[in-house]
A and B are shown apart, each in its own frame.
Chain A
Amino acid sequence: MKPSDIGILIVDDEVSVRDALYKWFKFDGYRVDTAENATSALQKLQDNSWDIVLLDIKMPGMDGIELQRRIKQFDKSIITIIITAFASVDTSIQALKEGAFDYIVKPIDPDEMGHLIRNACEQRRLIYENIQLRQQLDEISFSEEIIGESPALKKVMDKVATVAQTDSTVMIRGESGTGKELIARAIHSNSNRRYFPIITINCGAYTEGLLESELFGHEKGAFTGALYRRRGKLEMADKGTVFLDEIGNIGHKMQMDLLRVIETREFTRLGGDRLINVDFRIICATNRDLEKAVRDGSFREDLYYRLNVFSITLPPLRERKSDIALIARFFIKKYAQAMNKNVTDLSPETLEVLSRYEWPGNVRELRNVIERAIVVAKGSYIDVSDLSFPFPPDIKNTEEDSLEAVEKSHIKKILERTGGNIAQAAHILKISRLTLYNKIEKYQLKK
């Protein structure tokens, strides 16, 4: 920040002080103005923006302490510096307690004044930077990648907005690839904890011992190879959010430990005896049927109730097919830009194929299909030939097709899947082998 970017308002009833300070700051290139009393100062605060206010503690009418209170009510980011004629400890402490950046005793040492203003400017710059960063964070708070206008998704996003403002534990359910982590991040970034970290732990990716060490950390020498003390992820998430992905995959001992931590918010590192207190919110996710797991005894009932306070179920992509075009176009834009390709849209036939596909891998699968298509696409549109599905869809059936056409296509698909094994295909189709032979004959499906 250049001095000319900083506005300093001097509030003092003594004209000589106002003039001297005005001149001092003017020579340094700051934008300066003066006010002879609190009323005039408040008016000038309304009329213009000021970064630093130097104010005399003793003034007729409203004194400096009261003026400071009003300034902080008006804009708490304004830096106030109290000028006092006497080194009155009580008054100065009161001013500092009420948010003054510092105080200076008249007469001021020129060097002290220089340092004070430089420090105040630095503080102001940091406050300003902080405000800007928070604004940027707020702008991206709803993850860009949660795309869709379908009623099913809107219902989910309404739930996210409702629960984000609370501190409740959230359980996110949904098939693989539906965006459970994105939803967890959206909840975190719209909560009061958004300026603190969100720590993700994929519970399914660790063995029980490793998961324990990941979550709680360990002291030096806690086990073979523990050469250093290490903070656990729960500690790292202090004041933030812990996202426990694949919570349904944790073992019995870990379930017990986790239950205790959730209840007490304290734990010890592996090999340590010092209790560590942490403040975090838990969001967990699973694609397992936890109720069934509780019934068959593989998941603790008490932990289930602790975690399942507020539940959000993400719809699979096949249940919000109206969003497919939007999502596909989002990924086209993203990957075309990243790969520097001139692909701008989908051909109508491609869109139809995408809309009819069942998407067992959900949005993740759609993303991968689009990414691969962008790699191979030659023109500015993604063509059907550019698509490559891990589980190829039957692209010929349309609602206008006759029953015969659908039957032919289905038999052909099953025969392909069984490698032409008639007995296996007949079993899947729940028809006799003879009937199948007749149908093959009828539809000329012989190789």
Chain B
Amino acid sequence: MTQVRQPPTTGIPTPSVREIFMGFFSIGINGFGGVMPFARMMLVEQRQWLSADEFLDALSMCQFVPGPNIVNLAVAVGSRFQGPLGSLAGVAGIMAAPMVIVIGAYTLLMQMAESPVVIGALRGMSAVAAGLVVALGVKLALPLLRKKDWLSLGFTVASVGAVGGLALPLLPTLAVLIPAAIAAQWWWMKGRAR
């Protein structure tokens, strides 16, 4: 295994499997509308398992690997301190409470599915939730627009068009767009270096 276990560089003792579970449990239960800010608060400020730089480093890796970022972060942090068991504890910690809560909330709402108040509330919330995602997309696209990064924006538009407009399946779309986007970035970077 490539895994190297290291104690925290912040000087605190290595967290145990149980502490890893509890730490990620607290992230899961607090993370309303996005868990990453809470993850940073817990890992860097409260428990100081990671330095600020280590957190950024781990985050950029988790964004690079496919899959849910926060779960990947739990895997990376858990494995660093306690190997495979630490990873399992982190993932179980982050998922346990939210899964119970969301299933409970769903079951409760379905009991009242006929109630016009519940139907109305869900309608209103759905409209807001959709707006949250649009805002996220705009926020991510803005830096590209500000930098006038037409190359990246071209691929952004292509992926909106393919997946949103034409409803093409994701796998073949990514198989074409991602290598093309990476090659284009590489070629552009080379051109600038010259």
The answer to whether A and B assemble together is no
